[in-house]
Amino acid sequence: MSVTGSVCIIGSGPAGLYCAEEIKRLAPEVAVDVLDRLPTPYGLVRGGVAPDHQKTKQVIRQFEPLFSKGGVRFLGNVSVGHDIDISELRRLYDVVVIAVGAAGDRKLGVKGEDLAGVYGSAAFVGWYNGHPDFADLAPRIPGPGVAVIGNGNVALDVARILALTPEEAHDTDLARPAASVIERHPVTDIYVLGRRGPAQAAFTAAELREMGELAQADPIVEPHLLPEHPPEDMEPRAARVAKRNLEILHGFAQRARRDVPVRVHMLFHRAPRAILGNGQGNVAGLLVEHTKLVKGQVLSTGVTESLKVGTVVTCIGYKAVPFPGVPLDERRGVIANTDGVVEPGLYVVGWARHGPRGVITANRASAREAAGHALEHLSGKTTHGSGGAGLEKILSARGYRHVCYDDWCRIDAAERARAHDGAPREKFIHVSDMLALLEENRRHLEAVGVKVTD
């Protein structure tokens, strides 16, 4: 496809990079710049995938060639809406694609949600992953009980990370402050709960199976709540997933209990009704109601119980947060769009487009569609903006220093170098520390006569 012009992708997570990859595959002459407000690329692969899931993080290897030899530029430490407005980007670039994900937590909507000790999964997961936005979260985890609300993989991640022994955490990139807190305040009972039944849980079999492989934690399941088979009216694909999960859960229920310090209670048919306080503004418990499923509908039973917990982590889904200069669809929790089109020349991809769903590779479909929209728009243009050159000129005039891909490689190398034996890296968890490292490197190179350019 003989198309030229420039594309700016805002967000360097998988959705944005799949889009960049597709554009360069179909139209190699198109200039593609990927912006991120952090100095680090790869979005939720770095800041959301569980620290002990290093194989999943290897998807980064697919994207590295885009920056190193694929003609895609990375411009980190550029905050759209602060350093530059999206209206300016649209004048500079022929196409702008928004790939900022869904960073907001959905609310439970129950009394007590504002108590100290209640955290959304975006914040809690970001904290233990060393995301700069949540590096100073300092969550309250007094123990001995923690409630994790949700029946998806994120809930399993949170429960598993809290149950890891120091030895199990050793070969991960769990942020050091988080590892210290978890080790210092070990919990004995973790309650993973959801409103629906085990057949309706959104776990993947691989994640669920891991709950039975922890060194010092046992999964506990209530056998009487486990059906033998998925419901007959369940869609075939969902039924296959449910069948595998039920087999694993039955295995948990049948195996002998071990003498280990942590119990992970898999509680189904439980709906949170209130988070209970201790009179001093802190979480002291969670009131849940037993539910039942009738023709796919969750119904109340009136039977309640209280769980003694000092921490509540909600893992009930994400939503897009307001993005400066772009309309938000509050009802759907996404950036307002029609099939990925915000308006001609402005497109949205990934979770910001359709909400959080699927695994990392599930973003490919919307990325391909956004790439198609972008190239169709470019094919009709006869004049072009100044693109990246214009952006750099504006940022320089305003005193903003962007982080290029080579800079990221220096950060990456430093993180790997400072890791303890066996760990993949020890992350910098503050942007200021990353920028200080780059500035020190710059001064060193200039001192030995090497000219530094971006």
Is 82 a residue of the active site?
Answer: no
What does the DSSP assignment read for 27-81? -TTSEEEEE-SSSS-SHHHHHTS-TT-HHHHTTHHHHHHHHHTSSEEEEBS--BT
Spot the catalytic one: 136, 361, 444, 454: 361
Is 394 a residue of the active site?
Answer: no
Rounded CA separation 439/22 (Å): 34
Sign of the alpha-carbon dihedral angle for 324, 412, 66, 398: positive
Rounded CA separation 94/5 (Å): 6
Spot the catalytic one: 23, 360, 411, 429: 360
- Give which of 223, 285, 206 is closest to 257, Cα–Cα: 223
3-state SS class at 223: helix
Q: How far is CA 271 from CA 10, 110, 195, 284, in A?
A: 37, 11, 5, 17
Spot the catalytic one: 33, 36, 52, 157: 157
Is 361 a residue of the active site?
Answer: yes
Q: Annotated binding site for NADP(+): which residue ranges? A: 151-154, 195-196, 207, 358
Q: Annotated binding site: which residue ranges? A: 15, 44, 80, 151-154, 195-196, 207, 351, 358-360
Task: Return the axis-axis angle of helices 121-128 and 153-163, rounded to nearest 10°.
Answer: 40
Rounded CA separation 271/283 (Å): 17
Rounded CA separation 44/101 (Å): 9
Rounded CA separation 137/47 (Å): 14
Question: In whole angstroms, how large is the CA radius of gyration of the chain?
Answer: 24
Q: Annotated binding site for FAD: which residue ranges? A: 15, 44, 80, 351, 358-360
Q: What angle do CA 443, 448, 453 make, to 5 degrees?
A: 55
What does the DSSP assignment read for 310-335? SEEEE-S-EEPPPBTTB-EETTTTEE
Rounded CA separation 157/53 (Å): 10
Helix then strand count (H, E) for the chain reads 16, 19
Is 411 a residue of the active site?
Answer: no
Q: Which amino acid makes up residue 46?
A: R
Residues in the chain: 454
Burial grade of 18 (CB within 10 A; 0-12, 13-18, 19 or more):
buried
Rounded CA separation 84/70 (Å): 26
Residues labelled catalytic: 53, 157, 360-361
